[in-house]
Amino acid sequence: MAELTSLNIKIDRDVKQQADTLFNAMGMTLTTAVNIFVRQAILEQAIPFRISLDSDRLTALKAKEALKSMQEHAVASGLENMSMDDIDAIIAETRQERRKSRGQ
């Protein structure tokens, strides 16, 4: 029989409780589930499942990055205190200039 050792990890209390409930329903402990995961990772020489951002998270992340970039640009340009009315006026003016340049 293999010599056993301990592994101490930190995990959110609610996540641990949910995992305990799930794995107990499957007839195993959280320790057994972690052992299965580690053994499968060793066997495959990889994380044994796909890890990716879901599209909602990815969209939120991109939006957050875009907002941060716009805020930095506004500060650098001295425009951080513009009102929505000011912004709308600039947009309307820009659209009008584009229409004129296209001959509309």
The encoded tokens of residue 54 equal 């879901």
The residue ranking higher by pLDDT, 1 or 69, is: 69
pLDDT in tens, 54-94: 788 888 888 888 888 888 888 888 888 888 888 888 889 99
Residue 1: pLDDT over 80: no
Mean of pLDDT over the chain: 89
Whole-structure pTM over 0.85, yes or no? Answer: no
What is the rounded distance in angstroms from the CA atom of residue 53 to the CA atom of residue 63?
A: 14
Give me the mean pLDDT over the 44-60 stretch: 84
Sign of CA dihedral 36, 39, 44, 47: positive
pLDDT at 38: 95
pLDDT in tens, 8-24: 999 999 999 999 999 99
